[in-house]
Amino acid sequence: MTVRPLTISGSFLVSSVSFGDERGDFFEVYREDVLTEALGYRPRFVQTNVSTSCRNVLRGVHGATTPPGLAKFVTCLRGSLLDFVVDVRTGSPTFGQWEMIVLDAHGGTAVYVEEGLGHAFVALQDDTCVQYQLSDLYRPAEVLTVHPLDPEIGLPLELPGEPVLSDRDAAAPTLREAGALGLLPDYATCLALRAARTQASAGL
């Protein structure tokens, strides 16, 4: 398994070699030692969620109040999707920018998203199944939602039909509106959290 940083700091692409034969495929999804070396601190996962989505379902942009924040390790178990990391951290040099990765059940790839970043995906196939490992317990009151169709973010959703959104996502504020409401994480605070985790890991 290998880990490389994406252009938005705090996001990483995790890739594994897939071994296949007449029985099927095998690849590593997660190795703590490899991810720890890449991050500079030991990741912590306390909850695992699974979602299934029909084609054209769009989920996100989701984040969490930071601190405490909510890091995610995202894997596609079935089907395929366009996965997006969106920088919603005020003061970040890449604020409002996004990175897109194609994830599917056979690619041996995953995405790690640090606290403070936004995450979204759109399912490319029916019955697409996604697993999220979370660094903290999911608390609805701490969820941050930014409208995934915000034109200032401009996610490249070239779909054969209208995207299907939840009521909450459809009613979410734009990035600018969320910023005006004081809902967005602060970049300096996110960097301080990362530094504290790195220092704590070094002391283990």
Among all residues, which ones are annotated catalytic? 62, 132
Residue 33's H or E segment, with its range, is helix 32-39
- Please say whether the beta carbons of 87 and 117 come within 8 A: yes
Per residue, the 3-state secondary structure of 98-118, as one string, reads EEEEEEECCCCEEEEECCCCE
> Backbone phi, then psi, for 188, in 5-degree steps?
-60, -40
DSSP 73-93: EEEEEESEEEEEEE---BT-T
